[in-house]
Amino acid sequence: MELYEIKNGLDKAHLLIDEYRKSAQIDEKLREIEGLSYQTMQDDFWDDPTKAKKIYDELNDMKKIKILIAVLLSLCLAFAVTGCSGDNLKDSVINGFNDMLQHFSKYALTDEKDLQGDKTKGEDTYTGSYTADYEDFNDKEYIFGGTALERDKGSELTVTYELTVDSGTAKLYWLDKGEEKMIADTSKNGTYSVTLDEGDNYLTLEGNDFCGSLQVVVE
């Protein structure tokens, strides 16, 4: 391979790195890591052990993003110096990076042991069914979803739900790269269509002194 070919490959790799850093919101996630790390250094951090553990668990999950960045860089450089060019380079990096994103996405979902209800998995982390009863619930559940440039099974999903709010407040929404797209915030049932964008996509239930129930199917 000629030197100019390697240079051209590296230039294209650099552009791809910039593109995918934005798509996966990597810079935002790194800032979150910094913020969580700062909290752990405060003198009163362990005054609330439950909150402290939750922050530590979140921080450990977020640190996996650093591994993702290293993998992304390695993929781009490897394909650049082994002769991939043009669409071949981009397709190779997309496939490799997308696989890594989907692997890491499961860490953002609420662990099944911490969910209030029973979850049945579908064909991937984006689909399945969930039934839960809540009593004085004050938290968020990330029930289904993931982080990928392109979902293997397509970008269209349908959410069929029944939310019952007996007391307190609750909202069921689709979290799209940090934006809350409301599905229901009162007792309600129906369907909601989702077109996935690249990056973070999560079906989320958030409650404040919430007593009630949720039944939902995503397919």
Residue 129 amino acid letter: S
Domain spanning 3-105, CATH class: mainly alpha
pTM of the model: 0.59
Contacts of residue 204, defined as CB under 8 A and 6 or more positions apart, other chains included, come to 140, 141, 142, 143, 172, 173, 174, 175, 180
d(CA 59, CA 41): 13
Domain extent listing, the chain: 3-105, 112-218
Q: Token digits for 80?
A: 């650049």
Give the max Cα distance, the chain. 70
Average pLDDT over residues 111-119: 93
Q: Token digits for 57?
A: 């668990």
Q: Token digits for 72?
A: 């992304």
Average of per-residue pLDDT values in the chain:
78
Q: Tell whether the model's pLDDT for residue 15 goes beyond 70.
A: no
With 0-12 / 13-18 / 19 or more C-beta atoms within 10 angstroms meaning exposed / middle / buried, residue 172 is buried
pLDDT of residue 97: 55
Q: Tell whether the model's pLDDT for residue 135 goes beyond 80.
A: yes
pLDDT tens profile 41-79: 888 888 888 888 887 777 776 666 656 666 666 655 565
Nearest Cα neighbor of 39 from 25, 59, 66 is 59
Tell me which residue has tokens 């230039």.
Answer: 11
pLDDT tens profile 155-208: 899 999 999 999 999 999 999 877 899 999 999 999 999 998 777 889 999 999
Question: In this structure, are residues 171 and 185 in contact, taking their beta carbons and an 8 Å threshold?
Answer: yes
Q: Token digits for 48?
A: 């609330």
Nearest Cα neighbor of 97 from 73, 61, 66, 130 is 73
Q: Tell whether the model's pLDDT for residue 83 goes beyond 80.
A: no
What is the pLDDT confidence band of residue 218, given thresholds at 50, 70 and 90?
very high
pLDDT of residue 126: 93
Domain spanning 112-218, CATH class: mainly beta
d(CA 174, CA 56): 25
